[in-house]
Amino acid sequence: MELFSDYEAFKKLFLSLSSIDLNLYKEKQMKRRITSLVEKRGFTQYSPFLETMKTDKELYNTFINYLTINVSEFYRNPLQWEMFERRILPEVQKNRKSLDHVKIWSSACSTGDEPYTIVMMLNRHVSLDKIRVIATDIDTGAMDKARQGVYSSRSIKELPGDFLKKHFTQVGNDAWKINDDVKKCVEFRQMNLLKDPYPKDQDIIVCRNVLIYFTEEAKDKIFAEFNRALVNNGVLFIGSTEQIIGYQKYGFKPMETFFYQKIGEAGK
């Protein structure tokens, strides 16, 4: 049998096992990642690998976490975060009358750099006890790291100095731990964007640098769901390598580059 010839069968069986539809991910990129892990574990076919996952919980969790691409750092793309604070937060404040208890969802939050960045930025304007951010990811391993809140200098290299001084404690030669009062502001939940219910009535949704891995069909579904998850005039913040083609059909209008505002219902 040709090596790795059973990928189509693997996708169907994995969908039954996990409810994760690999057809909704760009095949070339995803197949390359999966093949790499399968080979590392000593398999030459996908199906035996999947059969092993059925009884090996550690392998199953490793595989789920391996599907995600965890490239994250605090204040990534600083100019976009400056726009977020200067333009987007005042817009939300105008919509809500106050930034107190504003609802923000950090989707595909990875190791927590993004939701913690949001909390620290909001804290320039409101007290921490009024800040709540929902942070979701399919990767439980990444979120475990987020809950620990310990980061290297690489992760915090773009962070404004006032954030580092106020909200972090150095705990090693190359380790900084985010303070507990910031961690308490973030609720981490495991979530599959392609299957699970979305949080509702959000003022801001941040989903950066993950949609590039999905097919157009999957993105169509996600943008429509993001629209339904936002309040009227709510804002979607996407990544620096992404844009929404045909944003009108999803009920959005562009505000600034990478920022879209909800102006109607998706599909109407």
pLDDT in tens, 78-100: 899 999 999 999 999 998 888 99
Do 16 and 99 lie in one domain? The reply is no
Residue that finishes a domain, picked among 67, 86, 117: 67
| Among candidate residues 67, 88, 105, the one where a domain is terminated | 67
Q: Does residue 151 sit in helix, strand or coil?
A: strand
What is the span of the domain harbouring residue 93? 78-262
d(CA 163, CA 160): 5
> pLDDT band at 72, cuts 50/70/90?
low
* H helix or E strand, kind and range, residue 202: strand 202-207
Task: Verify that 48 and 181 share a domain, yes or no.
Answer: no
One domain, residues 175 and 60: no
Average pLDDT over residues 256-265: 93
pLDDT at 137 over 80: yes
Overall number of domains in the chain = 2
Q: Residue 118: in which H helix or E strand, if any?
A: helix 113-122
Going by pLDDT thresholds of 50, 70 and 90, the confidence category of residue 1 is: very low
Query: Is 267 among the domain residues?
Result: no
Of how many residues is the chain composed?
268
- Predicted local confidence at residue 71, as pLDDT: 55
116 within some domain: yes
Q: Are residues 90 and 57 in the same domain?
A: no
Question: Do 147 and 61 have their domain in common?
Answer: no
CA-wise closest residue to 168 among 181, 186, 187: 181
Is 70 exceeded by the pLDDT of residue 268?
Answer: no
Above 60 in pLDDT, residue 28? yes
In a domain, 268, yes or no: no
In the predicted model, is pLDDT for residue 32 greater than 90?
Answer: no
Q: Does the structure show a pLDDT above 60 at 143?
A: yes
For residue 228, the model assigns a pLDDT of 97
Task: With a cut of 50, say whether residue 184 has pLDDT above it.
Answer: yes
Domain co-membership, 208 together with 94: yes
For the segment 242-255, the average pLDDT, to the nearest whole number, is 92
Average pLDDT for 98-124: 94
Mean pLDDT (whole number) for 51-60 = 91
| Closest to 177 (Cα-Cα) out of 141, 153, 144, 142 | 153
- Is residue 188 within 8 A of residue 109, CB to CB? The reply is yes
Q: Do 94 and 56 belong to one domain?
A: no
Q: Are residues 43 and 172 in the same domain?
A: no
Residues 189 and 155 in one domain: yes
Answer whether residue 112 shows pLDDT above 50: yes
Q: Using the predicted structure, report yes or no on whether residue 195 has a pLDDT greater than 60.
A: yes
The Cα 99–Cα 94 span in angstroms is 9
Describe the strand order of the beta sheet including 132-137 as a list of residue ranges: 186-190, 132-137, 103-107, 202-207, 230-238, 259-262, 252-256
More confident call, 236 vs 69: 236
112 located within any domain: yes
Same domain, 181 and 60: no
Same domain, 172 and 257: yes
Domain boundary among 67, 86, 111: 67
**One domain for residues 41 and 98:** no
Residue 214, domain member (yes or no): yes
* Residue 4 confidence class, pLDDT cut points 50, 70, 90: low
User: Which band of pLDDT confidence, cut at 50, 70 and 90, is reported for residue 70?
Assistant: low
What is the average pLDDT across 202-217? Answer: 90
Question: Chain-wide mean pLDDT for the chain?
Answer: 90
The CATH number given to whatever domain includes residue 158 is 3.40.50.150
Residue 1 maps to a domain: no
Residue 73 counted as domain residue: no
For residue 8, the surrounding DSSP H or E stretch is helix 7-18
pTM, two decimal places: 0.82
Domain membership of residue 161 (yes or no) is: yes
Q: What would the two tokens of residue 230 be?
A: 């936002």
